[in-house]
Structure 1
Amino acid sequence: MEIRDIVFSIVMVVSSFVLTYEWLGRFSYDPANSLIILAAIVMVGALAAMILSVDIRLRKLETTIDIKERSLKTNVQSIESNMDRKMNEVISRVNETLEALDSKRYR
């Protein structure tokens, strides 16, 4: 979690406080009713925490995918080199066999 994310969360909570306080004052509602203001702050704080939680989960998932991708790439390269080696062996055996057959056929 970056400091930028924390700052944005704090800005969200503070702006919800100011918005709710000013909005209630504009409609001649008793601005001292702190329960409404507190509920707005808690709601926005929970929203910020949820967004940060999703961000953390996505970063963990991305890290896990990167690790598995590297592992898979290594395995594929290993299989590719093994297959190349085996194919070269088979090709050399086939070539030797063909040469032996050609030499027997022309005798």
Structure 2
Amino acid sequence: METRDTVFLVVMILSSFLLSFEWLRRFTYKPTNPFIDPLISLSIMILAGTLSLMLISINNKLQDFEDKMEAKDRALRVNMESSETKIEESMNELSSKVDNAVYEFNRRNYH
């Protein structure tokens, strides 16, 4: 996980905590149980954390997929260049054989 991803994770968790805390305070939420307010804030922080980790995981998988596609593209390009070189060599060899055969044919006909 990159540093940038870690920073985004921390920012998401802190902002979710502040959002839940201020939202509950603004609407003068007074729970009968004093443990409910921290529980709401904690659950929102966990939700934001897991959401950000899921996004980071998806980003990492997409990056791996992109790297694999680039590697396959490079391999395909190298194979195409190799095939092109082999075909060109074969064509040059065939062309020289045809030229030699035509030369030999012309030499026999005119001599």
Deviations 1:66-94 (A, max 9, x none): 22122212211111111111000000011
Q: Which residue of 1 aligns with 2:10?
A: 10
1:9 Cα deviation after fit: 0.8
| Counterpart AA for 1:24 | L
Q: 2: CA distance between counterparts of 1:101 and 1:62?
A: 57
Moved more, 44-53 or 69-78: 69-78
For 1:19 and 1:73, locate their aligned partners in 2 and report how far apart those are by CA, in whole Å: 52
Name which of 83, 86, 96 aligns with 2:87.
83
Offset, 1:36: 1.7
Give the CA deviation at 1:41. Answer: 0.9
Find out whether 1:96 has 2:106 as its counterpart. Answer: no
* 1:26 corresponds to: 26
- 1:18-68 deviation digits (Å, cap 9, x = unpaired): 010000110010375222212211111111001100111112112211221
Provide structure 1 residue ranges, at least 5 long, that are not aligned to the other structure. none
Q: Which amino acid aligns with 1:14?
A: L
**Matched residues in 1 for 2:68 and 2:28: separation?**
54
State the TM-score, normalizing by the size of structure 1. 0.90
Gaps in structure 2 of 5+ consecutive residues: none
Q: Which residue of 1 aligns with 2:44?
A: 40
Residue 106 of structure 1 is matched in structure 2 by: 110
Distance 2:4 2:75 in 1: 32
Whole-angstrom CA distance in 1 between matches of 2:107 and 2:10: 86
Cα offset for 1:104?
Answer: 2.7
Q: Quote how far apart the aligned CAs of 1:5 are.
A: 1.0
Using the alignment, how far apart are the partners of 1:97 and 1:91 within structure 2? Answer: 10
2 CA distance for matches of 1:30 and 1:21? 12
Aligned to 1:63: 67
The whole-number CA distance in structure 1 between the counterparts of 2:17 and 2:50 is 14
